[in-house]
Amino acid sequence: MENKEFQYIDSGNVSHSINLNKDDFKLVQIDKSIHDTKFKNKPTTFFKDALKRFCKNKSSVTGAIILGVLLVLSFVLPVAISYDVDTQHPAEQFLPPKLFSAGTGFWDGTVEYKNKIADPSTKDENGYMYPGESKVQGYTISFDKGSIVSISKPKEGTTNVASPYGNGGSIIISSSKLSNSSQDYID
């Protein structure tokens, strides 16, 4: 190959020239043999290398521990807990959603209203009575948005469980202690 000169213009409209000589195309390692070098330690497998890299990252180890606990609990809890998904609970269908157990007052679905008497003639835009309390023969009945929140009697404790008899802001209290009749109605 003989010496050749090439010219080109770049994007800035500047002219450049390149000289190519025959000596530029000689094989560099013509007298040397090309070979791989030996490893100084034992070769590792792909899995071993991946596990070593995984263990160096603290956040991936923490995530793996959390996922492992969730995986173990997904198998253990259905066996250990007596609740099942097939049983219906119609008495609890009108309860408000809860994040914490009842009575904590913070995101548990209950609202406590004190000294507010329910007036059935006052209703909101959805037709529900405003939140309040009614007192019937010693029982205090708290309700919110048309559903019973609690029924309590002084010195006998409080039940915060929805009753199958309460629906849409109405409740039937049946007890022989209330009156001579077997049922008193509250609307």
pLDDT for position 173: 52
Q: For residue 143, give the H/E element and its range.
A: strand 139-144
Name the residue type at position 169.
G
DSSP secondary structure string, 68-100?
Answer: HHHHHHHHHHHHH----SS---GGGTTSPP-SS
pLDDT for position 88: 80
pLDDT for position 4: 81
Tens digits of residue pLDDT in 48-80: 999 999 999 999 999 999 999 999 999 999 888
Which stretches of the chain score pLDDT less than 50? 132-133, 154-160, 166-172, 174-187
Residue 89 CA to residue 172 CA, distance in Å, equals 19
Instruction: Note the pTM of the prediction, 2 decimals.
Output: 0.32
Residue 162 CA to residue 55 CA, distance in Å, equals 51
